[in-house]
Amino acid sequence: MEILLLIIYSGIVWLIFFKFKLLPWNTISQVIVFIIPVVAISLLILFLNIVAPSSHDVRVLNYNVEIVPTVTGMVTEVNVKPNQHVKKGDTLFKIDPVPFQLKVDNLKSRIPSLEAKVVSAKAYDRELEDQISGAANRIHVIDAQLDLAIKREQQTKQLADLGAGSKFDYEQAQANLSNLQAQRTVAISEKSQYLQRVSAVNTEGELSEITQARADLEQAQVELQEAEWKLSQTVYLAPSNGRIVNLQLRPGTIAVQFPIKPVLTFIEDEQWIIALYNQNEIRYVKDDDPAEIALKTYPNKIIKCKVDHIIWANAQGQITASGRLPDTQESHLTEGRFAVRLSVTDQDKDLFLAPGAVGQGAIYTEKGALIHLVRKVIMRVGTKMDWLVLKLH
């Protein structure tokens, strides 16, 4: 654009001083003629970089998801091709499900027997409760008989002491009392044994039959849920819309559940278009300002965008947390750049932008609208130069 302006200016000078000779061509006019374009173009560039700042470093970025299987097994199917676009939920690959299905079937076959064991344990538990109730009733009856036997023993003793009763009756009353006391001790012991059986843990620290049966059933059900989840993970689905590049996964490969060994790299459709600017260039840039980018993958193509937001942070604004004192030496980068995120407008939203594509761009602020045309011309001339491949090999 500057060259075009110089050519137009040179034509005007030629017409004024040489063609029509409207002014004399002397030392003063020559100095003025050479100073005017230098000053004018310098001022134009200075204002242009403020009201329509440009960036020579525009990048297309995509989110990458490293695909690590959640189960380990042999890959039996790969359901995608390199660079094939897939939607969220589409099948990417499958792992041999046989070992996981066997585990599920084994647990399913165990659960009915465990459930029957719980039912049996519940019946046994009810039987123990009946025995406890019977033992308690026996103790109650024995207590009533014991009270009567104590009174009988006291009465026969008094009669025997007074000579009004026989010593045999007193001894018989004592024997009956001792017998009832022994029966009560046996009944209490039986009740205690029944209570230990029905309780969660007996005196030896072992689980009761019903508690153990329920614990075994719950453990089997949890293991079944885990086994069914692992079986579902043998079919790996796309986490979002995107594509897989550099596909090297093949049937027969052992997919390992290891975080640092992904089997695929999935590139999501969601993109970031980043333009890097010096800090003093974006003073007037605001969200939704119109912008244009030109990528080297599309020579002679202007892609319409708008400012999404400015990322007001960079690595120079962070001090790493450590036990060392902050390093206050001057950085080799005297001015850290800020990134401006751009979003493609509806006009070019269906255009494929390859992750990693680079190019140039410009933002058109609300100020200096009259000279935005100069930046647009510069952008269009620059993207035409992308047609040239300047190399000798």
Q: Residues 17, 121: one domain?
A: no
| Residue 21: per-residue pLDDT | 79
In a domain, 324, yes or no: no
Least confident of 61-65, 167-171, 202-206, 256-260: 202-206
For residue 154, give its domain range.
100-225
- pLDDT number for residue 213: 74
Decide if 327 is inside a domain: no
Same domain, 123 and 178: yes
CATH number of the domain where residue 89 is located: 2.40.50.100
What's the CATH number where 293 sits?
A: 2.40.30.170
As a whole number, mean pLDDT of residues 95-101 equals 94
Q: Is residue 108 part of a domain?
A: yes
Asked whether residue 17 is domain-assigned, the answer is yes
Residue 330 domain flag:
no
At residue 267, what are phi and psi to the nearest 5 degrees?
-105, 115
Beta strands in 68-151 (DSSP E): 73-78, 85-86, 91-95
Q: Are residues 105 and 209 in the same domain?
A: yes
The predicted pLDDT at position 296 comes to 92
Q: How far is CA 312 from CA 148, 282, 315, 333, 379, in A?
A: 96, 11, 11, 17, 26
Tell me: do 84 and 126 sit in the same domain.
no
**Other beta carbons within 10 Å of 202:** 14
Q: What is the pLDDT of residues 355-369, one digit of tens each?
A: 999 999 999 999 988
Q: Which of 255, 235, 229 is nearest to 107 (CA)?
A: 229
Domain count, the chain: 4
Domain assignment of residue 328, yes or no: no
Let me know if residue 125 belongs to a domain.
yes
